[in-house]
Amino acid sequence: MSNIALTVDTINQLKPLEVVENETVKARFIQIYDTLWGAGTGEAAYERESFYFNNKLRDEEKLQKATSFSVFTSFIDLAVDGLSLEPGTRALCYLQGRNVCIGTDASGKKIYEGRLTLTVSGYGELVLRARAGQIRYADNPVLVYEEDEFAFGDKGGQKIVEYMCHLPHKSNHIVAAFLRITRADGSIDYAVMLEEDWLRLQAYSEKNNRRWDANTRQWIEKPNDLYLSNGGRIDTGFLAAKLIKHAFKTYPKIRIGKGTELESQQDDNKQQEVDDFYGVAPAMPVDNNPAFGNAVDTSEGVTIDPAKADVPEQGATDDDGAF
């Protein structure tokens, strides 16, 4: 793309909070943003996103445990994906830390390294899929209470939903949620979640948040707080985000940066065609001292196999590998 020189070694010599303020990193971000999203747009995007990015790192010191290279890829991915870290109830993406096993020591004990990942929320995925031409738009999620009339099914290969709201909702008991999606060809698709679906996810969250209590000498299982924050039931905003997240599990893949994860498809979505955007030369060879485990080449990124269970919103995490 240009002769802006970056190497893994150079990036790893920076502290996490220094990465986005580095002049070469700044130039790379602006160059990518101008190339993908319009000439002259990169400078303003850099000023905005560098502010959000480093504010997040300062506010959550645990994220500073991540390698500087993973901080770099997460920041550059904001330009690759064309999303913003602006916080809010409908944030498009957020930063998430994970502990990744990079080998074992001489005794066979696993060695972990902190990695920062840019995670795209369900709302961000709506933006990406509309931009990719897979959908025209999606309506706001609808929450169905036990007082309402609701039915869904399939007729002639077409998903159908019948819904009638009955007020007031005195029970505060949500039994279903659905999302109406207009595809690119004008056809209608529906995503539906039932109470049994999020209760199943809650059970997964409990298992993944399991902690050993040394005082009682037993395992304690507790789900993400948002599953119980609404008078012992799931938080409405959390449920809406979960519905959007699960709506696109069967849709085609979309282009994202190699340091980015989609909440809906976190297994294998690192798209190789964006490699050239990073413009980073491989690290210099290192001494593979067996006392410290095998050296790991991070120049091509890392593939993380997160827990298959529920994925947290806005940086909260349900799996044991997060930090």
Alpha carbons 261 and 255: distance in angstroms, whole number? 11
- pLDDT reported for residue 317: 38
311, exposed or middle or buried, with CB in 10 Å at 0-12, 13-18, 19+? buried
- pLDDT reported for residue 5: 67
Q: Where are the domains of the chain?
A: 6-132+253-292, 135-247
Please give the angle made by the CA atoms of 257, 261 and 265, to the nearest 5 degrees.
120
* 145 token code pair: 């209470």
Residue 16, preceding peptide bond in cis (omega within 30° of 0): no
Q: Are 257 and 77 in contact (CB under 8 A)?
A: yes
If residue 9 lies in a helix (H) or strand (E), which one and from where to where? helix 8-12
Alpha carbons 184 and 168: distance in angstroms, whole number? 36
- The tens-digit pLDDT sequence of the chain (323 residues) is 455 667 888 898 999 999 999 999 999 999 999 999 999 999 999 999 999 999 999 999 899 999 999 999 999 999 999 999 999 888 999 999 888 888 888 888 888 889 999 999 888 989 999 998 999 989 989 999 999 999 999 988 889 999 999 999 998 899 999 999 999 999 999 999 999 999 998 888 888 878 888 888 888 888 888 888 888 899 998 898 889 888 888 888 888 888 888 877 653 333 334 444 555 555 544 433 333 233 334 334 333 333 433 433 443 433 335 55
- Exposed e or buried b for every residue in 12-30, given b needs 16+ CB within 10 A? eebebeebbebeebbbbbb
Alpha carbons 317 and 242: distance in angstroms, whole number? 14
Q: What is the SS3 assignment for 62-96?
A: HHHHECHHHHHHHHHHHHHHCCCCCCCCCCCEEEE
- Exposed e or buried b for every residue in 256-284, given b needs 16+ CB within 10 A? bbbbbbbbbbbeebbeeebeebbbbeebe
Alpha carbons 152 and 190: distance in angstroms, whole number? 9
- pLDDT reported for residue 260: 87
